[in-house]
Structures are given as structure tokens and as C-alpha cells.
Structure 1
């Protein structure tokens, strides 16, 4: 683990990239709130709103090529993914204001949803380095996966009603019809064949909203937790939900977790995947790797 703090002799240029619709709520008042509580003795602050999917990445790249040293992702895990990918590429520092509905990575890093408290973390400028993942060379920072989670993300992305309640409602509708698939996995050279409802590759421990798929995952161990949710009777859905909310997936017979740093997955067909909750389409073969301690992020 590498922990450090800036000793500031001049003000740091900081950019807040704000997703105005993350979590289903409009965020137009956020700049005024940030301006009230940000330490102006330390920072020259700038604000920009995203306008479409992928815009946060474009804005972060533009900022990285200018004189911004700290870039703050204001949104959910999808916004964080876009911004962090460019922060990683250009060796800048990532900050997080968790404004999404799930906030998986922020919860793991103990960054509070209360914006005033989250800004106090930014004001301290305490930096740690964390692991990052690659999913067919697409960066992820919290979770990536395939199977039911990816199927649900693909459908949810088309729904104009964002937020947790809409996601849960859609999930309950889809779970009755989804069929488990068979996967071939190679994890650090060892072969596995598994039929699975979903497979997640966890850098941190949870999807978001304190729903834990990999309770013992660490962003500093150089490993990913490969979490295989086994096929189950729909009558056992409440049991699976309870296991995840209690953070006991590792002891459940419904979930198998294998740690590894280099994973190859072969599935029967091309199809949906998700990377930090954002849906993509990929082919039958997927490679997943980890880059140890590669991203600088502001933490409590």
C-alpha cells in the first residue's frame, strides 16, 4: 500500500465532472454546494456537466492534457469508470463524490454519500494507490461480469427511469426467465468448467447498496475475486439476497469464489457483459487481468 499526502505550496487545479442524472436525481445545484465547502486555500475549482454516455471520459482526457492534477467523478460507478480510466492513463489523482444509486466502489473505500463529508476527504488530499482490472482491455475498478448481471445491465440502460427501485423491479421481472450458461474458466493456469447464473470479477467487495458478492475482496492484494453464482431454484432467491446483504457469500453453497490475477473465460455465444455496471457486447472469449496498485485515489 502506498499512502501519501500533498504538501501544497501553490493551489491545486481540480475539476469536478458531474453526471447530472446519476442516481435518478438532477444535480444542477452541486457546484454551489461544492463551492461552499471546498477548501479554497488549496484548490482552484472548475465544474463541468456530462451530456451523454462517454462524455465523462472525454472531459477527463481533456483535463488530463491540461494542468488538472485532481479530477473528481461526481456520479455512480459508471461515471467513476469513465473518469478513472483517463486518470489511470495519465497518472492523475481520482476523487469521488458518490452521487449514484449504488456507489459500490465509494462504499468500499468508505467515502460517504453525504456530499459535505465527501468533500472533507477531498480537502485532506490523502492519496492511496489501489488495484485496477482489465476486462478484454476495458478498465474496471469495482466489478465486471457476465451472465444475469450483464443481461440486466443491458436492459436497464434502455430504461429512462434510473435509480435503485427501478433496477430492483426490473431484476425481479427478468430473473424468472433467465437461463444459466456453461463457462470454461482458466484462473492462473488452472481449468474449471462451471454452469453459472452469473460470474462477477470483483476488485472490491460489493455491487453497491451494501450488497456484497465478494466479502473478503481487497483493492490492494493484486488479485480479483471470481464469484460464480450457481444455478438456483427461484424459491431460493430470497436466500441468495439474504446472503449478499449479510456479507456471507463466501460461506454459502450458492456461491463459489476463486481468487486469481489472470482469468480467461470461454462461453458458448457472444453476448452482454458489464464493466462497473455499464453494459457492453463482447465475444465468446474474455480475458481478465489485474494491475496492482495502479490508480491514485483520494480516501478518508
Structure 2
């Protein structure tokens, strides 16, 4: 009889959908017990998922499953980066942008069925200085929204939407020098989006042409412009065509360095920071393996 594969489910009890109440019963009901021998570990503090994931990778586990939101997934990626272990996703956060990119929705049964089927794919991840990210990085408006939202104890779409609206109305562009191996830009930009995946939280598609295994980021530079010009481009945003707007410089690259004139906000996978130093994003081709629906 074939030995069962050991997996660990890392569950964030504080995630947007409070999955901690349901995950144990769902795994007992839906996970194929003939294939997998599982254990659940709940995160108790920031970066705990990194520690759990790293321990699993170093002790021969077959897979580590992130049961939470984008933050939990980011920590798992940072814990196992470059190690021979598979990452799975049970989306349970407020946004779950990367899970949506893969076609894994807010349905525990369907997410577990992806793990049962066992289809895998090697994908790229991004690196910002010494931090890895799987979905999106950015500098400017989106990063400030992330920074402010994470300080808000309220979770869900409404606080995120209200914070975004507030920042859009009041945000000032930043002067940046943006360097890639192919070209250099300089000027005032509202935000620079560095996309490995394609979707922010809440199914908000920003980089529809993004491919997870092409060895490149999709980059969108949003130029300084009056608010009304962005408002008349909303239809393109809703049709997932914002990268074709005249307000956006869109290109692909494997490495990008952004040097701000003054202090700016930046983020990786929705975790926001501030800096006045250069920020370097680089792609790590085929760096991790994930369970995928197909």
C-alpha cells in the first residue's frame, strides 16, 4: 500500500472569513484520506506561517496549504521559497486576489478538490529586496491604501473601498526614476504596479495579460493626470482593459528599480511599507510549485 502524503494546513483564525471555525470539519469531509495524512496548525502571531511552512519544507512534508488570505499565502511562500514542497490554497481572506487568478474561489469544498486532484505547476514569484511575493507589488497609491488598510481593525470590502476612495481623492503623485534592463523612465506617477498575478483583492483585475510562468512582470505605470481623466477611463478598468489607457505605460520586464525623490509607500501582496530608498523588484522564474485546478 502506498504511503500517504503528509501535508500541513496553515490556517489563519483571524482571516476575513474566520475559516478557523470550519476548516477542520471541511477537511474531514472533503480531503481524500487515502492520499493525504494532514494536520492543521493555526497562526498565532505575525510571520508564524513562515515558521510553520519552513519547518514543513525542512522535514519532508509533501505540501503546505495556506488557509487564509493573501497575507497568509505570502508568508507561506516566504517560508518555502526554493524548497521542494508544493503550495496549496484554501482562500479564506477578504480579498484572495491570487487564488482568484488561479480560478480558486471562496468555496472550501472546491478548493480542497483541487488538492485532491493533485495537478501542479511551477510558477514565477517576485522578490523585493529580501522579501518574496507571489501576486502583486507596487509603489504609490495602491501601496498607501494597503498600508492604511492594514492598520484598520475592520476587514472586508467596505473598509477597503472607503480607504481607496479617500486616497484617490487626496493622493498626490510622486516623482520617480524607473529603471529596467530595457529602458529608463522618469516623471510623476500616481502608482507603479508590479504584477506577477493579475488580480487585486475583490476580483479587481489590473493586469489581465499576466502569465505566471513567463519569467516577466507585467508593469503598469499610472501617469500624473487630473482625476476626471481617470474617471472617464473607468469603463476600461471595468472591462479589464486599463493597461490600454493613454494614462498608463504598460510593459513587461524581469527586473525593475524604482527610485523616489521623496518618501513613498510600497507593498508586496498587500502588505504596505514606507521608504525613501530605491526599491528593486526582480522575478524568480519557476521558483515554486503550486496546486492548480487544471
> Which TM-score applies when normalising by structure 2?
0.94
Q: Secondary structure at the match of 1:159?
A: coil
Residue 124 of structure 2: aligned partner: 131
d(CA) in 1 for partners of 2:87, 2:41? 16
Which structure 2 residues correspond to residues 273-288 of structure 1 after superposition, within 5 A? Answer: 273-288=266-281
For structure 1, list consecutive stretches of 5 or more residues without a partner in the other structure. Answer: 1-7
Of residues 103, 107, 113, the one that matches 1:114 is 107
| 2:150 paired with 1:157 | yes
d(CA) in 1 for partners of 2:42, 2:11? 5
| 2:43 paired with 1:50 | yes
Q: Secondary structure at the match of 2:10?
A: strand
d(CA) in 2 for partners of 1:280, 1:208? 18
Deviation at residue 18 of structure 1 after TM alignment: 0.6
- On the 8 A contact 2:11/2:19 being kept in 1, the answer is no
d(CA) in 2 for partners of 1:98, 1:238? 31
Residue 200 of structure 1: aligned partner: 193
Aligned length: 293
Deviation at residue 243 of structure 1 after TM alignment: 2.5
d(CA) in 2 for partners of 1:98, 1:48? 16
Q: Secondary structure at the match of 1:200?
A: strand
- On the 8 A contact 2:82/2:288 being kept in 1, the answer is no
| 2:79 paired with 1:86 | yes
Residue 4 of structure 1: aligned partner: none
| 2:289 paired with 1:299 | no
d(CA) in 2 for partners of 1:65, 1:281? 33
For structure 2, list consecutive stretches of 5 or more residues without a partner in the other structure. Answer: none
Of residues 28, 32, 37, the one that matches 2:25 is 32
Between 24-33 and 165-174, report the one with greater CA deviation.
24-33
Q: Secondary structure at the match of 2:169?
A: coil
Q: Secondary structure at the match of 1:89?
A: coil
Q: Secondary structure at the match of 2:186?
A: strand
| 2:170 paired with 1:177 | yes
> Which TM-score applies when normalising by structure 1?
0.92
- In the TM superposition, structure 1's runs of 4+ consecutive aligned residues that sit over 4 Å from their partners are none
Deviation at residue 245 of structure 1 after TM alignment: 2.6
d(CA) in 1 for partners of 2:127, 2:171? 27
- On the 8 A contact 1:205/1:213 being kept in 2, the answer is yes
Q: Secondary structure at the match of 1:197?
A: strand
Deviation at residue 233 of structure 1 after TM alignment: 2.6
